[in-house]
Amino acid sequence: MPNEIRLEEHDGYTLAIQTKGPVLGYSSAPTIMVNDMMFKDLNRSGVLEPYEDWRLPAKKRAADLASRMSVEQICGLMVYSSSITVDEPELSEKQIEFLTEDNVRHVLVAGISSPGAGAAWANKVQALCESLPLGIPANNSTDPRNYTNGKTNTSTYNHEPDGEFDPDGTSSISRWPREIGMGATFDMDVIRRHGEVVSAEYRALGLTTALSPQIDIATDPRWRRFYGTFSEDPQLNAAIAREYCDAFQTTPGSKDGWGNQSVNCMVKHWPGGGSGEGGRDAHFSLGKYAVYPGGNFGLGLIPFTEGAFKLRGKTKTASAVMPYYTISYGQDASGENVGNGFSKYIIQDLLRDKYGFEGVVCTDWGIVKDYTVAWTHTGTPWGMETASLAERRLKAFEAGCDQLGGVYDNGPSLEAYKLWEEKYGAESARERFELSARRLLLNIFRVGLFENPYVDPVKADEIVGCKEFVAAGYDAQLRSIVMLKNHGGAIPVLPGTNRASRPKVWEPLRHVPSGLTHWMKPIEEYDEYPFSHELLSKYFDIAETPDEADFALVSIKTPYGHWGYIQPGEGESEGHYHPISLQWGPYTAEYAREVSLAGGDPSESSSNRSYRGRTEYSSNEPDMYMVQETRKAMGDKPVILVVHVDRPFVPAEVEPYADAILLSFGVCNNALLDVMSGKFTPVGKLPCQLPADMRTVEEQFEDTPHDMRCYTDADGNTYDFAFGLKY
């Protein structure tokens, strides 16, 4: 039978649909016919090159193309852009510049104004890349974008109204609980469905790499990125990593699993970033040291070695890995203490040689950039602070990394190439950089971009956030909610014997004082009703006073304040290290270490990062008082407490004052009210321990899971890992 080819004209590109080959999408590249089959002539040579031949294995095609690339082109492939926002389907001058002059082909996409606009923009990127020498497509990527952020159904897309959503309707994208909430489901079917849905939405938007999943084990409860992990348990995280990566990367029916429905997974953060000393985070120099007082460095590897690297599906392993910023203090036998992306021991010796990982290694964002002082987030060149830009890049390449996250320019990479030549010789330099090019190109070939990088904006609007996908995300939200306490059967709140009557709810006004964001930016104070009266009225009648109410609904957030450091000017003439508190009331660190396990920074005069004896005041201390005052106002009538959880907390200050407690790990208010009103029976379980007090937090080991004394409530229930009540 002859190969039948049908051409479809679209806005800015053409599809060639053939019966004996893949669909080809092209805008400016000519085509070649060989043995009745169509191919794209991406380098305009008039000859079918091996990299253009879709009949050949992806590895062979990647090797051929890498051998044809100039050093400038390879260095461009080895950088990963900082995040960009897509408001309209046009390329900015900066985007055109880094795609053409710097040869960048990996782009991190953040905000997208609408699915159609995102897809149209992606097509513009691909058309430009196709017009350039060799015609290498762009591998557009995203951080996780399908979350509610706990309050409403708005997150990445900013054009929706700032209110609740219809779980039976459509959305600009499907919304799921945060990663820690996905862990709280303990349900691998939910994880797999998440991967199937979200990867389909990504492909519709022209996104082919997910900078996820984050499979660190959250062994220190104070870590600010706790919410982005799945749990503190290595085996649970390993199981989730397998399901997640399998679902994202697999194209059904493909011989090797890869194809035009696949999305590359970049698992992070090797070798685990959850053990920063004192719970501090390595986005800042103040948190750059990961410590291992329990001797459990190996536990952090399990989600990778037993999970992401041992998939049950045909793709076999996650296609990429991102090391964390941290210095894995004291783990390198040579005595070197540098950030993981600079560490030959962490990347080459451990990840590649010992565990056999052959995929792409991309550094975390900004490790080759400069930074200023310990408490600011600029660059993160830990252990290489005084080195030049080119020397840092050389160090990362020597360690075994293929790609540098968060930089547009390849100029310093070309300098690093020359430094490699001077140090190891010209042949070694070409061989080493071409090796990274082959790895990077392989991930572009396997997801089908060389055949068809274009997406349909109309279909993007139909697929992304469709009813089916929204329903799947909402079901996961419901399943992630943990009922921590239900004294006297306060939940569900049901109508009385007169079925026409509805319970009356009173919600106190929540005051949010000024404070600091995750990135240490100031927050202006404000007041809010966390549950809007418009939404509440769909479930209950609204009481104007506690006396009129049948029950009270109080919504608070876990304690937050300083992130382990007091900056100069905050009532202090000099900066100093400070406790991170998991309680709302004042906390003095009486049991903290007198001398830190690790320390030292060019911007500091002392290597001792101890904060013993310092007192922390949580910014949202009024949340605690609101719960206590509501209890007084309601008397014997039920108080239902919702805690929006981004990391563990000490329940002792609020639990005695609530009859029922629901934990939200990033779900919308609709889901909480469905559980509260009896429409859905809670099934979620704690993905972490909740500590009895701050002493046990200080005395636990940063690298050890399940090692805290857990809080026991008035009903005798202990809030340990995997605890959760049902009606």
Rounded CA separation 401/381 (Å) = 14
Residue 489's pLDDT is: 96
Q: How confident is the model at residue 663 (pLDDT cuts 50, 70, 90)?
A: very high
Q: Where in the chain is CATH 3.40.50?
A: 482-664+689-699
The answer as to CATH 3.40.50 being correct for domain 482-664+689-699 is: yes
| Whole-number Å distance between alpha carbons of 36 and 354 | 47
Given pLDDT bands bounded at 50, 70 and 90, which one contains residue 459? very high
Q: Average pLDDT, stretch 456-478? A: 96
DSSP string, 56-88: S-HHHHHHHHHHH--HHHHHHHTEEPPPEEESS
- Residue 436 pLDDT > 70: yes
Region 621-649 average pLDDT: 97
Q: Would you say residue 590 has pLDDT above 90?
A: yes
**Cα 354 to chain centroid, rounded:** 27
Q: Which of 477, 526, 460, 507 is nearest to 640 (CA)?
A: 507
In the prediction, which pLDDT does 204 show? Answer: 98
CA–CA dist 700, 694 (Å, integer): 10
pLDDT value, residue 242? 98
669-690 average pLDDT score = 97
Q: What is the mean pLDDT of residues 484-501?
A: 83
377 or 477: which carries more pLDDT confidence? 477
Q: How many CB atoms lie within 10 A of CB 657?
A: 18
Phi-psi region of 127 (alpha: psi -120 to 50; beta: other; left: phi over 0): alpha
- Are 323 and 300 in contact, with CB atoms under 8 Å apart? no
Average of pLDDT values for 334-348? Answer: 97
Average pLDDT, the chain: 94
- Nearest of 364, 413, 443 to residue 66 by alpha carbon: 443
> What are the start-end ranges of the E strands in 11-124?
13-18, 24-26, 31-34, 37-40, 79-80, 84-86, 106-112
pLDDT computed for residue 498 by the predictor: 52
Question: Is residue 247 scored above 90 in pLDDT?
Answer: yes
Name the nearest CA neighbour of 223 among 297, 267, 281.
281
Per-residue pLDDT tens over the stretch 99-149: 999 999 999 999 899 999 999 999 999 999 999 999 999 999 999 999 885
Model confidence over 135-190: pLDDT tens digits? Answer: 999 999 999 999 885 443 323 322 233 345 567 777 889 999 999 999 999 999 99
DSSP state of 176: B
Average pLDDT, stretch 386-396?
Answer: 97
Phi, psi of 693 (to 5 degrees): -165, 180
Could you please state the CATH topology (level 3) that the domain comprising 57-145+191-463 is classified under. Answer: TIM Barrel (3.20.20)
As a three-state string, the secondary structure of 485-546 is EEHHHCCCCCCCCCCCCCCEEECCCEEECCEECCCCCEECCEEECCCCHHHHCCCCEECCCH
pLDDT for the residue numbered 597? 98
The pLDDT score that the predictor gives to residue 166 is 67
662: left (phi over 0), alpha (psi -120 to 50) or beta: beta
Under the banding of pLDDT at 50, 70 and 90, the label for residue 519 is low
Q: Using CA atoms, how far apart are residues 416 and 581, in angstroms rounded to an integer?
A: 43
Distance CA(532)–CA(42), nearest Å, equals 55
The pLDDT of 619-640, averaged and rounded, is 97
| pTM exceeding the 0.85 threshold for the entire prediction | yes
Contact at 8 Å (CB) between 86 and 112?
A: yes
Helix/strand/coil percent split, the chain, to 5: 30, 15, 50
Alpha-carbon distance of 100 to 103, in angstroms, equals: 5
Residue among 653, 584, 569 nearest 617 (CA)? 584
15-56 confidence digits (pLDDT tens): 999 999 999 999 999 999 999 999 999 999 999 999 999 999
The strand pair at 639-644 and 515-516 is best described as unpaired
Q: Write the pLDDT tens digit of every residue in 262-285.
A: 999 999 999 999 999 999 999 999
Residue 221 in contact with residue 579, Cβ under 8 Å? Answer: no
**Burial tier of 654 (Cβ tally within 10 Å: 0-12, 13-18, 19+):** buried
Q: Where in the chain is the domain with CATH 3.20.20.300?
A: 57-145+191-463
Q: Is the pLDDT of residue 546 over 80?
A: yes
